[in-house]
Amino acid sequence: MLVKNGVIEKVFAEPDLPGDPFVVSDADTMLHYINPNAKEPEFVTIFTREGCPHCIRAKEILNERGIQYEEIKTGQGTGISSRTLRATTGRSTVPQIFIGGKHIGGRDDLERYFGIAQA
């Protein structure tokens, strides 16, 4: 339901269909109603290791841009080994960053992705 100034503007009523009951009342439907040209944020995942300076910088780059991300910690005691990381990303170094399901690479690759000049 979309309410503006205390008045119901639009009700996103659900059809009586079997299966997923939330066909039209989810946040994406409302966003597209309010702004049909709105672009949904891309999902970002970053594989990191505790104490890694490149990981810290990569997270800073994302935070500076207001980009939310899911962090997956690797290394001893995490259940994610370098072998698993290599099987997933093709690389065994961290950080490894995915944006919108696409493997961007490490910190240097992230800087290139955002057009950050490297010293």
Do 52 and 98 belong together in one domain? yes
Do 21 and 55 belong together in one domain? no
> How far is residue 46 from each of residues 62, 67, 113, measured CA to CA in Å?
10, 12, 14
Count of structural domains within the chain: 2
What pLDDT, on a 0 to 100 scale, did the predictor assign at position 20? 62
Do 74 and 28 belong together in one domain? no
DSSP state letter for 85:
H
What pLDDT, on a 0 to 100 scale, did the predictor assign at position 51? 95
Do 51 and 18 belong together in one domain? no
Do 25 and 54 belong together in one domain? no
Q: What is the pLDDT of residues 45-98, one digit of tens each?
A: 999 999 999 999 999 999 999 999 999 999 888 989 989 999 989 999 999 999
Do 60 and 87 belong together in one domain? yes
pTM of the entire predicted model = 0.69
Q: Residue 110: pLDDT above 70?
A: yes
Do 98 and 54 belong together in one domain? yes
Do 50 and 15 belong together in one domain? no
What pLDDT, on a 0 to 100 scale, did the predictor assign at position 114? 94
